[in-house]
Amino acid sequence: MTETGDIRTGRGWPLRPQEWGVMAALTVALGWFLLAYPLGLDQGIYAVNAARMLRGHALYSGAWDMKGPGIFFMYAVPIAMGGFRVWPIQVFHLLLHFVTALALYRMALWAFDRVVAWTAFVLWLVIAFSWGDPIRNGQPDDWMLPFFLGALIALVAAWINPRHRRRRALAAGAMMAWVFLMRPPMILAAALLPLVWLALGWDRQGASLPSTPSTPSVPSTASTSSTLSTLTTLLLFYIAGGLAVGLATLLYFVVTGSVQDLVYTQLKWNVRYAQADTPWANLTWRMVWHNFAVRWDSYFDEWNELSWSPVMGLLGCALWRWRVGRLPWRALGVWAVGLILGASSLFIQMRFFNYHFWPVLPFLTLAVALGVAMGLKLWGELWRHASSIPGDGNGRRWFQVSAALVLVFAVAGAFNAKSGLREMRKRQERTRNFLTGRDSRREFYERFNYFRIYRPFEDYQIARLIKEQTPPGQTPKLYIWGFRPAIYFMCGSIGPSRFPYNLLSITHILCELQISPSQPDHKKCEKKP
């Protein structure tokens, strides 16, 4: 076991085979319904571009979208393995959230116990599977989480454990570079993640030199020099890991001759896109905070555990201090650094779309898990106390009945109040009704309609009609005038153009989108005077 004060990175790790089995079974049991979900709007863009890349078209020059290159390489994995099918993408999505839940399990186990760790694991699956939908799922923001949390874990382990510390720092740098390539607004997190070492303390073992009652604990000059040397070495390996991934990605664009398209997309198009949509010159912190608070309230309206996560985290800390003892401040500091750096992407982009909140959800989940776990532990203590009440048993019986009623009402409230459990139960029931024939595909798919730009049942109908009219063994030749990339993918087509939707075929001008009520797929772009 390796320690730094109150962090024990070796506790409960690696997992036993039966624990792996239980975790995998829980992931499937809670998230099976996602396999029946239709392809999302942005998922269609990523999937078509990834398929074009697998057919030999270079990213940005032969397959275009404004997102960072990492997400297209990620989508290429399930498409290369499963072809033009939606379910391999959803299986890959489940796998990534399983890894994210494992990372939260380990972070909770650092300083707390298995009750908190298992609660964090299950809560993440509930929140991620219930909060996600075809619009929110499969975004760079949630698919990057295993790498973001993995880098955080690797940096903590590198700082406090002398074994393989350089290798861990190298891996952390590589993972954060990939996070940046998937979601460029995470650039601040990639640059500042080593600040997590400040939360662990100056001494790399997490404690100063031994002290006596009359002599305060002060690091010696030799210890300071050794720590500076370790810090420099780990930073160099962290940077080296990031450079290795960055240079390997750049090599792809050099080989495919698309460096100019990469530079144009990421440094010119995205800058103009951000400036056109966000009035940066008129922004004030009051406006930013108001926008953030409004979005927080609206996005988490059906998930009380997320809305009240700060309160639940504080309650969990208070109960831990009361019932267990000293709080693990270093572990909480690591969580806080991760939360702040995850939130930095929100404020860099200033858009506050619902799926942009994914980077902060793991740390909100840890706060909720601590509160829930400590509530369960307190209930367990009350139950044990009831069992030890002396006398004829009437007092003990009434105490046990009261404790049982508290637990029943708490569970019933979680299932019926606004919570991730209730939302997940609703989604599982709707999916079950669809799969058993109680609901039609139209009824199931139309629940995911997003204004006029995302109509999954219409996409399914059009793709089915096209495939029926296409001779067997042939790929339909399509050009879709509109914003329906999923049709290409469901037809097994990569489209005739590098643009999976036609609006961006004139990226050199500033587009103004006009949607006709009678023709929702007609988009008119005019040059701004």
Q: Does the residue 323 lie in any domain?
A: no
Q: Which of 151-155, 324-328, 479-483 has the lowest mean pLDDT?
A: 479-483
**With the C-alpha atoms ordered 409, 411, 415, 418, is the resulting torsion angle positive or negative?**
positive
* Cβ atoms within 10 Å of 151's Cβ, excluding its own: 31
Q: Does the residue 384 lie in any domain?
A: yes
Q: Does the residue 117 lie in any domain?
A: no
Where do we find the tokens 């290798």?
Answer: 167
Provide mean pLDDT across the span 424-444: 96
How confident is residue 2, by pLDDT bands cut at 50, 70 and 90?
Answer: very low
How confident is residue 49, by pLDDT bands cut at 50, 70 and 90?
Answer: very high
Q: Which of 8-17, 128-137, 333-342, 504-513 has the lowest mean pLDDT?
A: 504-513
Separation of alpha carbons 177 and 191, rounded Å: 9
What is the CB-side half-sphere exposure of residue 430 using CA atoms within 13 A?
19
pLDDT in tens, 508-519: 333 333 333 333
Distance, CA of 367 to chain centre? 16
Provide mean pLDDT across the span 241-267: 97
pLDDT in tens, 167-220: 999 999 999 999 999 999 999 999 999 999 988 875 444 433 333 333 444 445
Q: Which helix (H) or strand (E) holds 72?
A: helix 69-82
How confident is residue 483, by pLDDT bands cut at 50, 70 and 90?
Answer: confident
Residues 6+ apart with CB under 8 A from 303: 127, 130, 131, 418, 419, 420, 423
pTM of the model: 0.89
pLDDT of residue 382: 77
Phi, psi angles (nearest 5°) of residue 86: -85, -35
pLDDT of residue 391: 55
Separation of alpha carbons 5 and 111, rounded Å: 9
Supply the mean pLDDT for the chain: 85
Range of the domain at 409: 375-435
How confident is residue 453, by pLDDT bands cut at 50, 70 and 90?
Answer: confident
Q: Does the residue 391 lie in any domain?
A: yes
Q: Is 325's pLDDT higher than 60?
A: yes
pLDDT in tens, 99-138: 999 999 999 998 899 999 999 999 999 999 999 899 999 9
Distance, CA of 527 to chain centre? 37
Indicate the DSSP class of residue 283. Answer: -
pLDDT of residue 224: 77
Distance, CA of 92 to chain centre? 14
The domain total for the chain is 1
Which residues face 7 on adjacent strands?
A: 4
Q: Does the residue 62 lie in any domain?
A: no
Residue with more model confidence, 69 or 375: 69
Provide mean pLDDT across the span 87-107: 97
Q: Are 4 and 159 in contact (CB under 8 A)?
A: yes
Closest by CA to 321, choosing from 237, 368, 405, 378, is: 378
Q: Which of 70-79, 306-315, 359-368 has the lowest mean pLDDT?
A: 306-315
Separation of alpha carbons 403 and 380, rounded Å: 9
Residue with more model confidence, 452 or 503: 452
Phi, psi angles (nearest 5°) of residue 59: -65, 140
pLDDT of residue 517: 36
Separation of alpha carbons 449 and 445, rounded Å: 7
Separation of alpha carbons 120 and 116, rounded Å: 6
How confident is residue 411, by pLDDT bands cut at 50, 70 and 90?
Answer: low
Q: Does the residue 394 lie in any domain?
A: yes
Type of residue at 477: K
Q: Does the residue 424 lie in any domain?
A: yes
Q: Is 386's pLDDT higher than 80?
A: no
Angle among Cα 154, 176, 54 to the nearest 5 degrees reads 120
Q: Does the residue 403 lie in any domain?
A: yes
What is the CB-side half-sphere exposure of residue 400 using CA atoms within 13 A?
10
Phi, psi angles (nearest 5°) of residue 352: 60, 40
pLDDT of residue 136: 93
Q: Is 406's pLDDT higher than 80?
A: no
